[in-house]
Amino acid sequence: MKKNILVVDDSALMRRAICDIINSDSNFQAIDVCRDGLEAYEKLKTTSYDGVVLDVNMPRMDGLELLERLQKEHIKANIIMVSTLTTKDAEVTILAMERGAIDFVTKPTNIIEAKGEDFKNRLLSILSAVLRTRSYTRRMQTSDPIPKKSISPTVTRMKAPLGKGGKIVALACSTGGPKALQSVIPYLPKNLDAPMVLVQHMPAGFTKSMADRLNEISEIKVKEAEDGEKLEKGTVYIAPGGKHIEVKKTPDGGHKVVYNDMPAIGGLKPCANIMFDSLSQSGYDEIVCVVLTGMGADGTNGILSLNQHKPIHVIAQNAETCVVYGMPKMIAEAGVVDEVVPLTEVAKTITKNVGVR
């Protein structure tokens, strides 16, 4: 049976373009459309959809207002935002994640782009991944989706007493990540005894808005990473959209963020594998690697490589709480995961492994 998707956008041309994309996939159908959030609210009160593609800016009731109404009235929906690359829309989109949106796709600037392959592929891939994970988690019969043998390390793991290098946390996430991070970062203590470097697959502009918002609602300091800045304990450094980041040793024994401007890898920039790979040459005694919700396998190769050079401790989000059970699934199947935990336990698990000052 085809998955039923509701399309909400005030532009008739955009509604038609999005519906055509959805209907081009044999797994989906977009029969119902709405011109604004108020129409969508009335629909969602009486009709259940497998997914909703929602515009940000609309008359009468915009996307954020609709999400607030749905949240207040406990109306559940799998909502994917369609947002422009403006700073204002980026800020609203990050707030939309707090209000219940699952993820977002960047809105084409014109109808020609809307009919292009890039937007089509991005929209369909997110819809497919999200709904596939939703279906998968509903079918699961146990609380542990990963076979025990997959969780247990299958390669020799180095565990050494900490020297002066200390620890660092390296986190990777993708689809569903902006929402997931709001259940992790605000629950980390401000005196975490390690810095954190973080790769979330997002366009330029959105990472800055996400970092600023997380900093507002967190005790720990959160910022978009700057080229050349020194890493400090109790700070989360988010890779900017459109830039890979590496961690490099400094002459005084510390570490700094360095931008790597090589091309996108598999369409990803930033790419988590580059971040994890760079830590192989760092001075840290142990790397706590965290993999949250996301499509694909970014981070797995980097962590496997890192495991050959450094003692690591790997934490993966469990399937039930993932928007998309892709990246955590791949690293678990690689056999180097030490702990599989629900999203609400990730911050506590990080703190347990890193400690506080």
The Cα–Cα gap between 231 and 62 comes to 39
**Residue that finishes a domain, picked among 113, 139, 165:** 139
Active site residue 227: no
Domain count, the chain: 2
Q: What's the CA dihedral at 175, 62, 53, 129 to 10 degrees?
A: 10
Whether the predicted pLDDT of 175 surpasses 50: yes
CB 288 within 8 Å of CB 312: yes
- Of the listed 255, 278, 298, 313, which one is catalytic? 298
Q: Please tell me whether residues 253 and 105 are part of one structural domain.
A: no
The Cα–Cα gap between 62 and 8 comes to 10
351: tokens are 């703190």
SS3 275: helix
The predicted model gives 133-152 an average pLDDT of 51
Residue scoring higher pLDDT (282 or 149)? 282
The predicted model gives 223-231 an average pLDDT of 98
Q: How many other C-beta atoms are found inside a 10 Å radius of the C-beta of residue 42? A: 11
Residue scoring higher pLDDT (160 or 37)? 37
The Cα–Cα gap between 45 and 116 comes to 33
158: tokens are 């180095």
- Of the listed 36, 103, 174, 278, which one is catalytic? 174
Active site residue 280: no
Give residue 240's identity as a one-letter amino acid code.
P
**Residue that finishes a domain, picked among 75, 108, 139:** 139
Q: Please tell me whether residues 103 and 161 are part of one structural domain.
A: no
SS3 210: helix
Active site residue 74: no
352: tokens are 């347990």
Q: Please tell me whether residues 103 and 55 are part of one structural domain.
A: yes
Task: State the chain's mean pLDDT as an integer.
Answer: 91
- Of the listed 9, 55, 103, 201, which one is catalytic? 201
69: tokens are 């109404």
The 10s digit of each residue's pLDDT in 77-129 is 999 999 988 888 899 999 999 999 999 999 888 888 888 999 999 999 999 99
Task: Supply the range of the domain harboring residue 55.
Answer: 3-139
